[in-house]
Amino acid sequence: MDWGLGAERMAQAGDYLKDYPILLGSQRTGPDLSQEGGEHPNDWHQAHFINPRYTRPLSIMPPFQFLKQDNIDILIQYTQSLGLKNADLRMERQTLWKKRSVDAYEAGVDENVAWIHENVPKGWREIPTPYAASEAGLARGEKIYQDFCFGCHGPVGDGMGPAQPYLNPPPLNFTILKGRGISGGIIYYQIMNGITGTAMPYFKRELESEKIWDVGNYIAKYFIGQIDANKEPKGIDAAYE
């Protein structure tokens, strides 16, 4: 159990009934999936099983496209069951927000962007990025983008990464956000918390605060063309930026 990553339920007797352990002396290389059910919607898993690099660019997991679609569907169902009743609750949440996110996307670009922004708390919408877009910060942001975002959002941020054909709604095209009320706070919140029902996962357990701000600056500068880094309103300057 990866307790340090924010797990909420300790394993209990019966959880692993009929599961077979790996060989003695081998080492676990994969993540803890005991609470995986409902962490992602089904279409994310579809892209992930076809080729894990589509959704996780640094993954060492082998592709499973050879299983064919019927077996991949069964594997997705099993994965979404991991976590028992907690997984059921998360899947209900994914199903609810999947419908809302698809409806918003199909309503058109303006309506979709407005819907996404409306679901970010008001305080976050009004916060600019607190760190200047320095050369070093943008370089860090580029590396984070390549390691975590490239597979869905693509090399130029237009949402046309290799995972795109499998996802509905498709990954957000950052280039459409200019002039549509975007802010560093909105970008931060969505990277931190994800967008439930879509393939956009949360990164609050993987990326420290500075890394989220850095990749947000990178996206804002190079893909959106509108950046509010280190602008008012702001608080006390950080000792190290």
Q: What angle do CA 41, 44, 46 make, to 5 degrees?
A: 110
Tell me: pLDDT of 1 over 60: no
List all residues 6 or more positions away from 69 whose beta carbon is below 8 Å from its beta carbon. none
> 108-224, what's its fold?
Cytochrome Bc1 Complex; Chain D, domain 2 (1.10.760)
Backbone angles phi, psi at 137, to 5 degrees: -65, -40
Contact 67, 75 (CB under 8 A): yes
54: alpha, beta or left? (left if phi > 0; alpha if psi -120 to 50) = alpha
Paired tokens of 171: 């990954």
Structure tokens at 150: 């490239």
Lowest mean pLDDT among 27-31, 123-127, 182-186: 27-31
**Could you read off the pLDDT of 162-171 as tens digits, one per residue?**
999 999 999 9
* CA distance to 76, 95, 101, 214, 241, per residue, from 119 (Å): 28, 17, 11, 23, 29
Question: Tell me: the pLDDT tens digits for 99-122?
Answer: 999 999 999 999 999 999 999 999
Q: Is pLDDT above 80 for 29?
A: no
> Which of the four pLDDT bands, split at 50, 70 and 90, describes residue 234?
confident
- 9 has a pLDDT exceeding 80: no
**What is the per-residue pLDDT across 139-160, written as a single tens digit (0 to 9) for each?**
999 999 999 999 999 999 999 9
